[in-house]
Amino acid sequence: MKQLFFILALAGCNFMSLAQINGSVFEFDQNKKQVGIPSAIVQIKHGEFTSTDSLGFFSLLTAKKGDTLIFSLTGYKTESVILKSIEKPLAVNLSSGVMLNEVEIAYRTSGTDISYLSAMKLEILNERSLMKAACCNLSESFETNPSIDVNFADAVTGTKQIQMLGLSGQYAQITKENMPYMRGLANGYGLTFIPGTWIKSIQLSKGAGSVVNGFESFTGQINTELHDPATMDKFTFNSYVNQNGRNEYNLDFKQAVTKNFSTNWLAHTSFNPLAEDHNSDGFADIPTGRQYNIMKKWNYENPKTGFEGKWGASYLKDERLGGQISKHHAAHSDTLAPYYIGINNEKWELFSKTGYVFRKKPGTSMGLQLSYLNHDQNNYFGSTIYNSTQKTFYANYIFQGIIKTTDNTYKVGASYLDDDINEKFQLFRFNRKEQVAGAFAELAINRKEKFNMVAGFRVDHHNYYGVFYTPRLHLRYAFTSNSILRLSGGRALRTANIFADNAYLMASNRQWTLQPSDLAMPYGLKPETGWNYGLNFTQRFKINYREAYITIDAYRTDFEDQVVIDLDNPNEILIYNLKGPSYSNTAQFEFNMEPRKRFFVKTAYRYVDTRVTYRGSLLEKPMISTNRAFINFSYETRNEHWQFDFTTQFNGSKRLPVRMSSPYGTLYESRSPDFYNLLGQITYLTKFKRSELHIYLGVENLLNYKQANPIVDAGNPYSKYFDASMVWGPIYGRMIYAGLRFKIKELTWLKFKEDK
């Protein structure tokens, strides 16, 4: 069986693309030379969209002959091109929207692009966004985005977690190249397993997602696209170091084997050698450790036959050691062993993606996604041991067609998911094998850029939960081309991984108490189910001849069933199924503008009201800020040599779990204080003929704000009151970092021209 799967994984398929068109978007400079335009929006009319990279290159994965491609960018005239061939690259010249003699018009992106034509509100965080801060991995890629909160999970592991629409990250569907990623054991530490330099872009959508991608999205979807052999830079080297001694090295390169076949390597290694204790509690603020991470990808494209295949394999080894610093322990006890923390992850994965376009049937294609992963995790927190293994197989088949015209498209398909998870926690063993087979259909209707609708429905059979249904609906209406209203709604279901989802709680001596409601279910708990409803309004306008926009979001997540993690007893973690209402309401206002040339300002405010019924009382969920504000400034000098980024985050107070029954209760308030987090970065960039060098210097937590006493009873780590998981703010303090990036570009469109 393993041999059969291995053959399927390498020869089989994955539907990431139906057909692919590569190209470039350019303008002519004062010397009449072609210059690539970065961050131009390229969209198939009513369909997929992307943005050009720093040299103006782009790749559309689902393009087909006869599609209308729309090219747009602030300061330039919008161009529409009918795709007459997918066998050769496309070069498009954008001209200035205002033609003045001896005036050079250049566009710089703020780092986030929004589609105005899609039925879903999609934000694309491009390479410029990822370069605004020290995005060493995926968990740190959202520091300059107001829609995602990033916080330390606890005071001893150095792990960061995210929140979206007032709920923790496991309620968002986090995918890698549109395939499941953050599931099962990866929920605890998986955000640190994708290096920042591997990321080409991040697509962020709030609310109900597409049924094509599954049934687990409660609050939205975060999809990470990694660099592809067909479109990435020829060679990239990146190094990073910070004042904690953390140092990282990334080496990415590609090779064209034939005209249709290419491959790449993505390699990462990082080390954290210093155990520092800046808050003098006897524990290392950030664990020491090392990570080795490598990925190999292959890409095959044959426009003449309509077949395209992508295959890949990856391996990860991540080791962390934290806990008490030996000299501090020796001063307190000579009888008890030091309280050490060890986190060890080993993971390997195979995946394949292929698609086929029916050349004689316009708009018709099919494809298949396949993946298999093996993840071993072995952790210890003092005397608490958690060992687990996950083996997951995933398959997703998609067929796409049209109804009379390309304004009416549909997707139908089937998926299969097999999760085999074995966990050993303290003296208990939990084994489960989930098998889910499903089918789905999705209809997209477009009416002259005025109205869009995407309606989807899927039915799945789960070996534990039986048959369940997932409806999703997205509507878009354009009052004008600059005033867009979107509505969305849909249902979701997921299995709660009570240990992996809450691994940070193991850094305490609380007693885990499980109250099962159905012993036939995983952990004896019913699945989490709920509905998400939302609306978004976007208004685009101009200020001083430069584009600006405001956007207003409002979303509500209503749980039908939920696994409640009750922390209001300082000696216990009580886990049970919801009995009563549970919901999260969020409202966000965002305003973006370019007040001066090459100077971008992004501001946002978000209100969150998340409440859960805890033992009969509807209470505010702990560790979630009710109010959060954000402002980001970005500026580039005219010669592009210097880039400046500065972000201020306001974090409102959070309810803290009740501690009054603890002898340390009087030391802790019922709510955390408000605090600000400031971060900034300066980048120097110099370009050569086909390469560029970036040197950057940055700072996180500029005000050096730290949570006082982040560890309860730190001097007695084996007492029943010891707890390092009650973290609501920064624990390290000011962090200065520096790094460099070196890239060698490949002028793809010139290469194609020379070949021709």
- Does residue 597 fall inside a structural domain? yes
- Does residue 528 fall inside a structural domain? yes
What is the per-residue pLDDT across 81-110, written as a single tens digit (0 to 9) for each?
888 766 667 888 887 654 433 333 334 455
User: Do residues 444 and 585 both lie within one domain?
Assistant: yes
In the three-class reduction of DSSP (H, G, I as helix; E, B as strand; rest coil), residue 660 is classed as coil
What is the per-residue pLDDT across 277-317, written as a single tens digit (0 to 9) for each?
888 889 998 999 999 999 999 999 887 788 889 999 999 99
Q: Which residue, 348, 261, 365, is CA-closest to 310?
A: 261
Note the pLDDT of residue 159. 87
**What's the rounded Cα separation, in Å, for the pair 510 and 659?**
12
In terms of Cβ atoms closer than 10 Å to its own Cβ (0-12, 13-18, 19+), residue 358 is middle
Q: How many helices (H) and strands (E) does the chain have?
A: 5, 43
**What's the rounded Cα separation, in Å, for the pair 186 and 500?**
7
Dump strand ranges (E) for 46-178.
Answer: 49-51, 57-60, 68-72, 79-82, 90-93, 112-114, 122-125, 148-152, 160-164, 167-168, 173-176
Report the chain's terminal Cα–Cα distance, integer Å.
45
- Does residue 408 fall inside a structural domain? yes
Mean residue pLDDT of the chain comes to: 86
Note the pLDDT of residue 666. 53
Mean per-residue pLDDT, 388-413 = 93
Residue 755 has a CB neighbour count (10 Å cut-off) of: 8
- Does residue 115 fall inside a structural domain? no
- Domain end point (choices 51, 82, 110): 110
**What's the rounded Cα separation, in Å, for the pair 298 and 257?**
10
In the three-class reduction of DSSP (H, G, I as helix; E, B as strand; rest coil), residue 504 is classed as helix
Q: The pTM is what?
A: 0.83
pLDDT at 487 over 90: yes
CATH of the domain at 284: 2.40.170.20
Q: Give the amino acid at 449.
A: E
pLDDT at 31 over 70: no
User: Do residues 93 and 215 both lie within one domain?
Assistant: no
723 forms beta bridges with 508, 712
**What's the rounded Cα separation, in Å, for the pair 550 and 553?**
10
Most confident of 223-227, 325-329, 330-334: 223-227
Q: Are 677 and 649 in contact (CB under 8 A)?
A: yes
User: Do residues 77 and 167 both lie within one domain?
Assistant: no
User: Do residues 129 and 96 both lie within one domain?
Assistant: no
Contacts (Cβ under 8 Å, ≥6 apart) of 35: 26, 27, 28, 29, 56
**What's the rounded Cα separation, in Å, for the pair 267 and 123?**
27
Lookup: tokens for 740: 């460099």
Mean per-residue pLDDT, 523-545 = 93
**What's the rounded Cα separation, in Å, for the pair 275 and 696?**
25
Number of domains into which the chain is organized = 2
pLDDT at 754 over 50: no
- Does residue 244 fall inside a structural domain? yes
User: Do residues 91 and 126 both lie within one domain?
Assistant: no
What is the per-residue pLDDT across 666-711, written as a single tens digit (0 to 9) for each?
566 789 999 999 999 999 999 888 889 999 999 999 999 999 889 9
- Does residue 19 fall inside a structural domain? yes
- Domain end point (choices 82, 110, 138): 110
Q: Which pLDDT band, with edges at 50, 70 and 90, does 221 fall under?
A: very high
Which bin fits 426, alpha (ψ -120 to 50), beta or left (φ > 0)?
Answer: left
More confident residue, 440 or 46: 440
- Does residue 116 fall inside a structural domain? no
Give start and end residues of each alpha helix (H) in 478-578: none
379 forms beta bridges with 343, 386
CATH of the domain at 92: 2.60.40.1120
User: Do residues 408 and 268 both lie within one domain?
Assistant: yes
Residue 475 has a CB neighbour count (10 Å cut-off) of: 16
Q: How far is CA 158 from CA 148, 225, 285, 558, in A?
A: 19, 25, 7, 32
Looking at the chain, the whole-number percentage of residues with pLDDT higher than 70 is: 89
What is the per-residue pLDDT across 568-592, written as a single tens digit (0 to 9) for each?
998 999 999 999 999 999 999 999 9
Residue 637 has a CB neighbour count (10 Å cut-off) of: 12
Helix/strand/coil (H, E, C) string of 219-256?
Answer: CEEEEEEECCCCCCCCEEEEEEEECCCCEEEEEEEEEE
pLDDT at 193 over 70: yes
User: Do residues 73 and 134 both lie within one domain?
Assistant: no
pLDDT at 78 over 70: yes
User: Do residues 205 and 262 both lie within one domain?
Assistant: yes
**What's the rounded Cα separation, in Å, for the pair 610 and 605?**
16
Q: Which pLDDT band, with edges at 50, 70 and 90, does 47 fall under?
A: low
More confident residue, 120 or 609: 609
More confident residue, 264 or 260: 264
Q: Which pLDDT band, with edges at 50, 70 and 90, does 158 fall under?
A: confident
pLDDT at 340 over 60: yes
User: Do residues 45 and 181 both lie within one domain?
Assistant: no
Lookup: tokens for 735: 């962090």
461 forms beta bridges with 437, 467
User: Do residues 96 and 183 both lie within one domain?
Assistant: no
In the three-class reduction of DSSP (H, G, I as helix; E, B as strand; rest coil), residue 275 is classed as coil
Note the pLDDT of residue 74. 61
**What's the rounded Cα separation, in Å, for the pair 434 and 495?**
9
- Does residue 712 fall inside a structural domain? yes
Q: Which residue, 123, 189, 194, 129, is CA-closest to 161?
A: 189
In the three-class reduction of DSSP (H, G, I as helix; E, B as strand; rest coil), residue 314 is classed as strand
The boundaries of the domain holding residue 64 are 2-110
For 714-750, letters b (16+ CB in 10 Å) and e give beebeeebbbbbbbbbbbbbbbebebebebebbbbbe
**What's the rounded Cα separation, in Å, for the pair 162 and 148?**
6
CA 237 to chain centre: 23
Q: Which pLDDT band, with edges at 50, 70 and 90, does 111 fall under?
A: low
Q: Give the amino acid at 399.
A: F
User: Do residues 76 and 224 both lie within one domain?
Assistant: no
The residue with tokens 């992106």 is 109
User: Do residues 398 and 535 both lie within one domain?
Assistant: yes
- Domain end point (choices 110, 142, 172): 110
